[in-house]
Structure 1
Amino acid sequence: DRVDSSSRPANNNWDVDAPVSSGASDAARQRYMPKYFDWVNKVTPAYGMDAGPNTSCSTTAITPLTDVSTTAGATLIKNAIDAMADDGATNVPEGMAWCWRTLSSTAPFTEGRPETERGNDKVLIVLTDGANTYYTPTSVTAQTYSGTNWSSGGNDLAGSKAIYSALGYVVPYSNGYSYGRMFLGTDVTKDDYSNANYTKAMNEHFTALCNNAKAAGIMVMTIALDLDATKTAEKTQMDALKACSSDSRFSKDKTDPSKPMKLFWNSTGATLSDDFKAIGNELSNLRIVS
């Protein structure tokens, strides 16, 4: 790895850069795609979950909408859950967006029933145990194999302003773009490259996604798991989850019976099982009243 002036290595190792010239910029070296392919294997063999140039790119593909009333379907879902491994930052809107895609009847997933089908309710459940996060390279320790000063944080010699994840780099390599996907469609300051500003941008994405999903007829249920209301970022996430949730069609707000109950649960590990039973009851009533 190349190190910066503070002797910090990259967060993940570079792959072989040839035939890029030795004088190429770090950004050019980072974006040089041919190094990820070879004539024998077509694609360079994968490294570990947090190793090498495919860091944050080794996520298992999402499981399509599956009928769990069958033994085969239930087994498929349980196996997929057991195979899950947590890694990286927390991106609530990304998870919610992919869930919506599986419910949809149109590509990239087509297992969902047509949106026009009478009596068909599409319910999306969002659960998170953390606030939205996205990290600058220097704010997260590098891998232990990366270099002597790995614990001092990674470098950002390529000027990407973020560790690569679902939203890509915050600063695009191409001059044709003013800023990356992180800031598209948001009102945040576009040149504030901080973890806190990234969280603000992701929160705006989440709010827009929630509004779009509900406008499309999706019923949204949200769960905040073990979030701490005394911490600003987590309290913001809790408020966003509650605002995102749909209104119950039959349950009333316990503090104000004139209003419908919000389909939001502030859960802990101790209450989660009972909260899912409440969600099950809500879904059962949907079948009765639909």
Structure 2
Amino acid sequence: MLDTVLFRRIRAAACRFAGANEGNIAILFGIAVIPIISFVGAAVDYTRANSARSSMQAALDSTALMLAKDLTEGTIQTSQISEKADAYFKALYTNNEAKSLSINATYTQNAGNGSTIQVNGSGNIETGFMRVVGFPTMDFQTSSTSAWGNVRMRVALALDVTGSMDYDGKMTAMKPAAKALIDQIAALAKNPGDVYISLIPFAKDVNVGASNYNESWINWTDWEKVNGTCSNNNYTTKSSCEASTYRTWTPRNHNTWNGCVTDRNRDPDYATKNTTPTSDPSTKFYAEQYNACPAQLMPLSYDFTALKAKVDSLVPNGGTNQPIGIAWGWQSLTEGVPLNAPPEDTNYTYRKVLIVMSDGLNTQSRWSDEGNGQTQYNGAIDARQKIQCDNIKAQGIVIYTMHVNTNGDPTSAILKYCASGTDRFSTVTSSSEIAAAFTAIGTSLSKLRVYR
């Protein structure tokens, strides 16, 4: 009897075991967990390797730049490149997980102009998870290249010389700062012509030089309306003279012009572009006998002494019209009339830069409905300037802007917009800060000029 009961119980337990399915999930999970852990582990190891590679890239970039600088300045010889590269890299690379690090530097004196240095690096990390599936290490490699000597720079320096620059010591501080910037940029040149600089003083107008009065790109229409004599001396404009019966208006000789030009035609092709003037009067530059005509601009030159002398001649006067300074800075970088930038040598790469310094907001232009010299109406000048800056940047020209704001005005939104990035816009609130701001621009230009 006891044997029979025991047998029945054993048989029932065996049946329950055979029919049970509660443990299937655990078994399946146990089978699946191995590849899951492998994938997660691979991602962790890959992230560590990528971090080590990113750190290496940053260190190689800096190493290549410093080697290029050393070779440019002649502080090391070509035989020292490998040793110096290794020293720079070891000082810069801070990732502690990387093993088996190796770098090499290759210097190439290019045919024609310029030199190149390439720094290659490699290493690996010891894996934590991938070793389980047979990969005890994970390799990485990267490289960095610097080129110099085949890059030439052309810089247009557009400086606000309006009446407000006479306050708070701004003009007094700006002159030595601008001259120091010219010296800083000039130092980038190894040979004559490597670096050109133009200087564009601007107020409401720009002075292109009275000696250009015979040039075909000048439009005299507006100038002749108010510069002349009436057969009845009581009338001082062409319209009032000719409105009077039997009166004749005689324009003055163009050689009495003071050299100032104002904004071009409002047509977007001329107001916001550097379109070459033709025989069409609307494409030309409008002469004006502006009574606050600034010092004459200086086209691209590598006579840096003359450029600094021009800075010394600047006198503050007139209202603010940033687009006119920007327009002629752009023209100075453009081949052909009116300023005839020197032809570019195809053996070189050219970096073109426009630097705009202004101490205020736009208040005046050629058209009285845009501003009265104290106030801009409906943002009309800024709107044109925004399109103008877009067109300049579309040509690959880098724009730096500086707002000298000693009066607590709102930060110039249009100057900030015109800059080629937030790092190329600066605002200073004291005249004493102008020098440092110009120096920062010069330092940035040195990287743009020498390195790739």
Q: Name the TM-score class by shorter chain.
A: 0.5 to 0.7
The corresponding residue for 1:158 is: none
Residues 219-243 of structure 1 deviation map (CA, whole Å, 9 limit, x = unaligned): 00000112545x3xx43xx221111
Gaps spanning 5+ residues in structure 1: where? Answer: 1-13, 47-52, 68-72, 135-165, 172-181, 183-191, 248-260
Q: CA deviation at 1:284?
A: 0.9
Aligned pair partner of 2:434 in 264, 272, 281: 272
The corresponding residue for 1:285 is: 447
> Aligned letter for 1:264?
F
Sequence identity (%): 25
User: Which sits farther off after the overlay, 206-215 or 269-278?
Assistant: 269-278
The corresponding residue for 1:149 is: none
Q: What is the SS of the residue equivalent to 2:427?
A: strand
Aligned pair partner of 1:29 in 218, 225, 240: 240
Q: CA deviation at 1:75?
A: 2.2
Query: Is the alpha carbon distance of 1:131 and 1:116 closer, same or farther for their aligned partners in structure 2, counting shifts above 3 Å?
Result: farther
Paired residues of 1:36 and 1:43 also in contact (CA < 8 A): no
Pair 1:126-2:356 in alignment:
yes
The corresponding residue for 1:207 is: 386
> Aligned letter for 1:244?
C
Q: What is the SS of the residue equivalent to 2:413?
A: helix
Gaps spanning 5+ residues in structure 2: where? Answer: 1-225, 259-287
Paired residues of 1:130 and 1:227 also in contact (CA < 8 A): no
Query: Is the alpha carbon distance of 1:206 and 1:18 closer, same or farther for their aligned partners in structure 2, counting shifts above 3 Å?
Result: same
Query: How many residue pairs were aligned?
Result: 193
Q: CA deviation at 1:130?
A: 1.1
TM value normalised by structure 2: 0.37
Q: CA deviation at 1:21?
A: 8.9
Q: Which has the higher strand share?
A: 2
Supply the distance in 1 between the matched residues of 2:413 and 2:395 (Cα, whole angstroms): 22
Paired residues of 2:416 and 2:425 also in contact (CA < 8 A): yes
Q: CA deviation at 1:118?
A: 4.8
Paired residues of 2:426 and 2:437 also in contact (CA < 8 A): yes
Paired residues of 1:121 and 1:218 also in contact (CA < 8 A): yes
> Aligned letter for 2:381?
M
Paired residues of 1:36 and 1:44 also in contact (CA < 8 A): no
Pair 1:263-2:442 in alignment:
no
Aligned pair partner of 2:331 in 96, 101, 125: 101
Aligned pair partner of 2:420 in 228, 231, 246: 246
Paired residues of 2:363 and 2:373 also in contact (CA < 8 A): no
Q: What is the SS of the residue equivalent to 1:87?
A: coil
What RMSD in Å do the two structures reach over aligned CA positions? 3.7
Paired residues of 2:230 and 2:236 also in contact (CA < 8 A): no
TM value normalised by structure 1: 0.55
Q: CA deviation at 1:193?
A: 8.2
Paired residues of 1:20 and 1:29 also in contact (CA < 8 A): no
> Aligned letter for 1:29?
S
Q: CA deviation at 1:202?
A: 0.9
Q: CA deviation at 1:266?
A: 0.9
Paired residues of 1:104 and 1:111 also in contact (CA < 8 A): yes
Pair 1:76-2:310 in alignment:
no
Q: Which has the higher helix share?
A: 2
> Aligned letter for 1:63?
M
> Aligned letter for 1:110?
N
Aligned pair partner of 1:87 in 317, 339, 346: 317
The corresponding residue for 2:297 is: 62
Supply the distance in 1 between the matched residues of 2:316 and 2:416 (Cα, whole angstroms): 24
Q: What is the SS of the residue equivalent to 1:210?
A: helix
